[in-house]
Structure 1
Amino acid sequence: MRNQSPYILKVFGKCNYDVDRHGNKREILFAEAVEDTLETWANKNLLLEPNYPERLSLRFIGILLDILHGIIHFHLKLKRPHGEICSGNIYIVDGKAKLAHVVDRFDQNSFVDDINKFCFMVRHLFAKDGLATPLELDQLCNSLRLYKADGYLRNSVNHPVLLTPKERGEVRHLAHSLICESPNEVKIGKSLVRELQNASRKFHGAIQGPHWIGNVSEQEFLGTLNFQNPPYRDIPLDFIRYCRNVGEHVRGDARKPWITDEYRDEMLTSFLPGFLPILHDVLSFEGICVRTLPNIT
């Protein structure tokens, strides 16, 4: 397949060289030079940040983004599935992930199969080493399989698990403004409560539900909680307002050098685990995109 997408392995030509025992022709492909398959790359590189076991490494985030962009390219631009998403069929070229070996035969179910195979592949990269899939990455996989709309797939590259701590802080800040401007603010609040309750059952206690005030700790964060008028309510909408205020008032300086984007994000995530992905999903289905949607290339 000739394709100029940066997320697809470039193939310059091919030739038949053999026939297998079933009579199928086997081919040699002449493609751009590759460093690894994703399978071998994952065996040699860290998938998680050493100091933050629930946070994906920046290199792995880049790999996942490349793969999702590739799937988006197939589904939304080429209007066809890839057909064989797996770690042995994704190649690393100059540090970027590229999809290869497209399946020629497909039907409508193949679009869903691409997503299912992506989710299985991601979870297997952790399971093969006896590790649990990080919560927010597991949430991304669950949402991709549950919500099959093209718009959700396109916005998946903005999922919070794929953002840096600084970008996650920007999402918290912008989400507050966008929700306040929305005529559906009350509906969004109810949806957040419902989805947090559902997630607390689905993820077996890793997500605690819609209540957050009792989880706030550390002096700086308690200060923001206690000195606010009107007082915060123990509901998700007020947690968004609280996060916005933390971003504005809890900042590092020479006296508090430990207060960084990473530290602030870690603390806010611990106050209401799993919340940011749920916020992403709820806003997506209200047609609210906090971050710019990617071009389909």
Structure 2
Amino acid sequence: MDVVSDAISAVRIGQPSSDRVRVGGRWCTRLAPYDGAGFHVVLEGSCWLLADGGSSVVLGPGDAVLLPHGTGHVIADGPSDAAAVERAVPLEALAGGTAARPPEDGSGAVEMLCGKYRLDRSRVHPLMAELPEVVHLPNRPGAHPELRAAIGLLGRELDGRRPGACIAVPSLLDLLLVYMVRSWMDEASTGAWPAVLGDPVAAAALRALHSDPAAAWTNERLAAEAGVSRPTLARRFTALVGRPPMAYLTWWRLNLAATLLRDTADPLSAVARRVGYGTPYALSHAFSREFGTTPGRYRARADRPTGVGVEPA
């Protein structure tokens, strides 16, 4: 695994959902804040997005937008004032075709892919935490070809009930999330984690730790893996990541243990081995110190059908 894959896998739960929406004329829909992430892709036409407490973003054909923190927002045919927001209909009304149908000739039609990802926010990796409230990825010639390809494939799969669509659509939605995060990192002019993964020393160390978190890592071994001296590794890694290499490793091992407790039925001894702890007791002690609860209690709470992740107490 790599850092981006692990950061997404740690928070992603359940199946994503999506709708293909086609509207026209005067329309406005509001999406309430959501304990997950939302996205929209404009296939045809243009519209406006206004995030709660933020500025408007104009979306054109091929544009994608990710709301990684589940920010509430309005989407409309144009700039929206308070009166327009009051008239907003639920997205389900638009998706179901019961509101704002486009004219017969298709003029002024707007077609979008709209969806949500369920996320466990109890243990968010700092890479995901520093994503802005709205990630706007405009459609520019030659930019982000993988993202464009995923959008095209997803649009075709949602056209109808093609064989295998029940597997293809969720897989393409997961791929879309990866490509949107990757595209943001490619374009980000600020933010710690694009700089971290752009630094050859820090990136090499992180790749090693995430590839084999259970290994018997030491500062000396990790420095050799990164091809630098131990002081150089400690200085650059700590300055960029915000914590020393071994402290990051401990934090990541415990977060990985929490993910395994949430997503598998593996006994605690197996979880301990997979994350680099010699005994279940050693893992339980470290886990309780980090999360304020035992692994068993954490697993029991994670198994509750809440629909979202649990906050360790």
Calculate the TM-score normalised by the size of structure 2.
Answer: 0.27
Name the structure with the higher helix share: 1
Calculate the TM-score normalised by the size of structure 1.
Answer: 0.28
